[in-house]
Amino acid sequence: MPCFRCGARQTDPVRGASPWKRGVRADRQVLICPGCQTARDWAGELDRCSACGSAVLVCRLGEVECRDCGHTRDAAPADLVHSGAPPGGSGDGDLSAEVAAALTRVLKKGPAV
C-alpha cells in the first residue's frame, strides 16, 4: 500500500518497527510514509477516534478500532467510500474534507441520487 499523501511505496522493510504509520482516512486503512510524517499536521487529515480523538486507528472488516482506547465504530459501507479520492492523488488536504462532506450528504439523504 502506498503512502496516502504522496503515493510513495514502502521500501524493503528493515527489521524491527516500520517507520511507516497506519491510519484510517474516510474509513479506509492508509499508510503514511516517514517523509509525510514530518509534514504539517498529517494526522489532521486522518479520521479521529470519536471517543478520545486519537488518529491511531485501524480499519477492519466493517469496523474502525482505536488503538489508544479501544473504541470501535462501524465503518461506512465500502460502496460509499469507493468513490473517494484515489490513493496518491493530488495530496491536497482539502480532499478529505470533500470526502467527509460527501459521506455526510449520502448518509443523511440515503442512496437516492
In the complex, the residues that contact Zn ion under the rule CB under 5 A are: 3, 5-6, 8, 33, 36, 49, 51-52, 54, 66, 68-69, 71
Contact between residue 99 and residue 84 where contact means Cβ atoms under 8 Å apart: yes
Of the pair 33, 106, the CB lying nearest Zn ion is at 33
Q: Categorise residue 49: left if φ over 0, alpha if ψ from -120 to 50, beta otherwise.
A: beta
Of the pair 73, 102, the CB lying nearest Zn ion is at 73
Dig out the grid coordinates for 28 from the structure.
479506509
Of the pair 39, 102, the CB lying nearest Zn ion is at 39
